[in-house]
Amino acid sequence: MAVLKECSEYEYYQIKDESVLRVCGLEIHFNLRTVCYNHQKIDLTAKEYALLCVLALNKGITLEYDRIYQTVWNEEPFGNTKNTVTCHIGNLRRKILQVAPDAQFTIKNIRSVGYRFDSVK
């Protein structure tokens, strides 16, 4: 969190001991484990929430499939992790699109490598 506080692209604040990350109109409430976009709640599963957190915290950085899998599932990658990650990212994108069709960010697929959270300008 100390690194995030120094980065101008992120706005980090605490309200009554609640940690919140704001990036590209998205609000991730860590203590409540909720996500909002322009004050509208996005209902996510635990894995979708974890995926979004990992991607948003690494905005602009391409994360490989295995790294995403290892971070979100908290286990060593085995088998076809690409399909697992891709399936969950697809569900995450659909849920975001329902609430935020005009989102200021995108979860971009980097072919044969992984995903990257980017702002839309």
Looking at residue 45, the DSSP 8-state letter turns out to be -
**84-101 per-residue burial string, b: 16 or more CB within 10 A, e: under 16:** bbbebbeebeebbeeebe
Least confident of 17-31, 37-51, 61-75, 78-92: 17-31
- Residue 110's nearest CA partner among 73, 78, 85, 75 is 85
Percentage, residues of the chain above pLDDT 70: 84
- Domain boundaries along the sequence of the chain: 2-119
CATH, domain range 2-119: 1.10.10.10
Q: Amino acid letter at 118?
A: D
Percentage, residues of the chain above pLDDT 90: 67
100 within 8 A of 37, measured Cβ to Cβ: yes
pLDDT in tens, 28-69: 999 889 999 988 999 999 999 999 999 999 999 999 999 999
Helix, strand, coil shares, percent, the chain, to 5: 35, 30, 35
